[in-house]
Amino acid sequence: MIDIGALLGDSGPWALAVIAAVVFIESGLLFPFLPGDSLLVSAGLLHEQLGLTVAAIALVGFIAAVAGDQVGYLIGSRWGTRMFKDDARVLKTSRLRETEQFFEKYGGRALFLARFVPVVRTFVPLAAGSARYPYRRFVPWNVAGGFAWAVGVTVLGSLLGGVPFIADNIDVLLTVLVAVSVLPLVISGLRRRSRRRAAEAGAEAEAE
């Protein structure tokens, strides 16, 4: 797990650049394992120690999130599913299929809702581009989702910083925050493993 507090503290004057890079990469460059949620909450929580305003953190997060999704959409519209493979470690075909189903179920709203779902938020813009979802519809959903997520999560972190218990136990709570952020990844992996074992067991039973 990444020590987010240390990462931000060690970044010094480059803290905003680190926030922008992490949010942009997680949103648009198909690398879903970066702690975007945790980073924004932590930055909001620690903004005074970092010498930053909540508004600056939220603005940078918002711009990076929107720009990242734009890139994800363009990648999907140009290259589609050709980068994904069944046996890949990150760009698995199964992950893209799950995201496409999420997109088909919620339509444009998926672009908004996915912002709050780790991993899914990385692949939904690509699925939208791959499905040729109209760009003029993509843009407003992207902007609305990026704003609600980046601003909301950052402000939430800043508000939590005013709670004495949280302020006195920041290190422990940041560790818990990271753990909660990766929990959906663990659950998704366990479900896939369970389905794979069930399928293998069924195949063996049929063979007998």
Q: What is the CA radius of gyration of the chain?
A: 19
The answer to whether residue 55 scores a pLDDT higher than 90 is yes
**Cβ(66)–Cβ(151) below 8 Å:** no
pLDDT digits (tens, 9 = 90+) for 27-47: 877 776 667 788 888 888 888
pLDDT digits (tens, 9 = 90+) for 162-188: 776 665 554 455 556 555 655 665 666
pLDDT digits (tens, 9 = 90+) for 121-139: 888 888 888 777 888 989 9
The answer to whether residue 67 scores a pLDDT higher than 90 is yes
Q: Secondary structure of 39-92 in the HEC alphabet?
A: HHHHHHHCHHHHCCCHHHHHHHHHHHHHHHHHHHHHHHHHHCCCCCECCCCCCE
From CA 8, how far away is CA 11, in angstroms rounded? 5
Domain boundaries, the chain: 4-207
Q: What is the pLDDT of residue 203?
A: 63
Closest among 75, 73, 101, 1 to 42, alpha carbons compared:
1
From CA 10, how far away is CA 117, in angstroms rounded? 28
pLDDT digits (tens, 9 = 90+) for 90-105: 566 776 677 677 777 7
Averaged pLDDT score across all residues of the chain:
78
What residues contact residue 160 under an 8 Å CB cut-off, 6+ apart? 41, 44, 45, 166
What mean pLDDT do residues 52-74 have?
94
Q: 205: burial class by Cβ within 10 Å (0-12, 13-18, 19+)?
A: exposed
Angle (deg, nearest 10), helices 170-207 and 4-11: 130
Closest among 155, 161, 178, 175 to 59, alpha carbons compared:
155
Q: E strands of 55-195, at which residues?
A: none
Q: Taking the alpha carbons of 81, 86, 91, 95 in that order, is the dihedral positive or negative?
A: positive
* pTM > 0.75: no
